[in-house]
Structure 1
Amino acid sequence: MGYHIKFLPHKKSIPQWKVQFISFKKSDTQGSKAKKPKREWDIAKDRWLNAQIQLKRQEEQLRKVEETQNQFQLRHDSVLPSEFIAKFEKVFVRKSDSQTEQGLRRTTRSHVVWRAAQRMIIAVGVEPSHWVYSYRQIYEYMIVQKMSVRYAHSVLCMANFWGYFISHKMARPFLPVKSPRGYDRLRLIEANCEKISGVARASKPISPKELEKAKCCMNQRNFNWLFISVWFGLRPKEIDGLRNPELWRAETLANWRKILWVFQTKIIALPREDRWKPIPLIFSEQKFALRIIESGNFKRPLMKTMNKHFEKGTTSYAGRKGFSDLMLSKEQSFENISVWMGHSSLQRTWKSYKSRRRFHLAGYPAW
């Protein structure tokens, strides 16, 4: 959107140009009934002066952006020589991974981490052989950027790879910078917790009561999907895979009790036969959820649907997030809950899926 000078070479009178306003916003073409709505409008001559002022402002902004890019490129070339970057990326940066092959990401995670490491190297402006003396400056950059501990570790590892690579090329010594510990790690965690935008937080849980309240104003298929999530604690991708009969099966034991077996598509480090996880149907709600699975009448809700019916910060992982506390309130053992969720250790269940604000004791109200 903006003003544009259109040259008119066949016009006999002067000036051989005119000022036009160009916009591709839907709001500017909302009333048009044409198949291809008009995108250009001529500006009256009495408004040309304002248009020229606007054009000068745009030119000034473009000039400033170009100067900033040139300065950045100079700093970039002085710290990260372009002739070595291609060789480094060929060795240390992966061109494809599981997410790019599935079409979930455009660029690999290692490439994203490498770009973040480049920004850090340029901002610090210290030669890699001297990083060991300037590690506080590197930590301060991470704290100012409010990186998570895990992301900071990945960026630092990639920067250390570059430091070793370029120091080896320049025949200089290099000592890697260790990840923040102690007080520096605490400051990094506190800075990341204060970050509001551009950060992914763990989903808030959904209880059966909260789900029941939203039932009256929610699409039935979306409700069924969340009902399966709450009472089986499955990953969102596993629930979507329940439409494929090869990814789940129901087993009936000799005592007429049933077990739902679900194939864990996320796990790739185990043999195929060890990726199946069992979930016994103990409660009537779980038996009803199995009937939903057999009918196929469920669909994952969109994020805007989740935000409309539940608290902000609630994602499709909400049912799984509350599964461990729900089962503990039903007097189930923590070891069994970890197996039903498909975790390889109790630590993963405790660290990521047990709420620190909830306890389960006789005589106290259930969740």
Structure 2
Amino acid sequence: TEQLKNRQPKVESAATPITEQDLYLLPETDLEVILRELESLKPQLAVIDSIQTVYFSSLTSAPGSVAQVRECTSALMQVAKRENITLLIVGHVTKDGGIAGPRVLEHLVDTVLYFEGDRFASHRLLRSMKNRFGATHEIGVFEMVAHGLKEVSNPSELFLGNRDDFSPGTSTVVALEGTRPIVVEIQALVSPASYGSARRATTGVDSSRLLQILAVLEKRVGIPLSKLDAYVASVGGLKVEEPAADLGIAIAIVASFRDRVVDPRTILIGEIGLGGQVRPVSQLELRLREAAKLGFKRAIIPKGQSPADLGLQIIPVSKVIDAIIASIPAQPPTMNDEF
């Protein structure tokens, strides 16, 4: 009760405020009681928090069991459809990020949304993993502020570092979340191994992709990385898992190895094959349009793709070594150089 009182000012001060007459709270876990209230009140929106705590008294299994979750969800869906109620069901997740309970739970509902976020970061992501009436893998980006969650209208600015202070080992990529392009800064640090075997660590970047990129750089480009520690992170901790970020990760690693600064006005897009080739990516023009909107001047992209003229200098490359030559200066920058 005390927690609800503390949150009342946030609800009343929202863009569309909710008054006490519009909000009903039911501290009940018996689903038969909940269903009777739903049929009586017929609210526009109902939130069940959580599906693992409600139960049917007619079932002998404990709340949260497979049978309880399945039957409770089915009953809620029937009432919601019959009474035309928008129903939000909150569920628990397992340690590996999957929905706790039976898989049938995902099949019964129309949309599955994951609320994600690093506890050390201020941003939160609402990610669509299933949507019967729209595109999947779309995201909403929010920032945690003093008064609650605030929508981030331009997520690229949140995951893009200060380009006036680019350091060696930094590059910029355009990640695609569903149909939403997000410009993300990639940072890499390569240093001598201090404790015998080399360490590889990532934050926001797929560790298996990092291992593959390191192997390609050593085998196809001749950069000795097997005895060096390699750390790669995305600014803000945004998960960058798609192959289109390979080229940016590789360039950041090489820039750190050579202690060179990549032009902060350059965007890097491309998948890296095991032979060192730079492969085409999907939605290239959409990515480039986002980069141009944020003031980038150059784009290093896979050869063979022909995007529209967006005011960017396009540098097509077919191999990783070509991208390294195009993006990393042979000599360290001087104080007179302009980026």
TM-score, with normalisation over the residues of structure 2? 0.30
User: Higher Cα Rg: structure 1 or 2?
Assistant: 1
Q: Which has the higher helix share?
A: 1
TM-score, with normalisation over the residues of structure 1? 0.29
Q: Which has the higher strand share?
A: 2
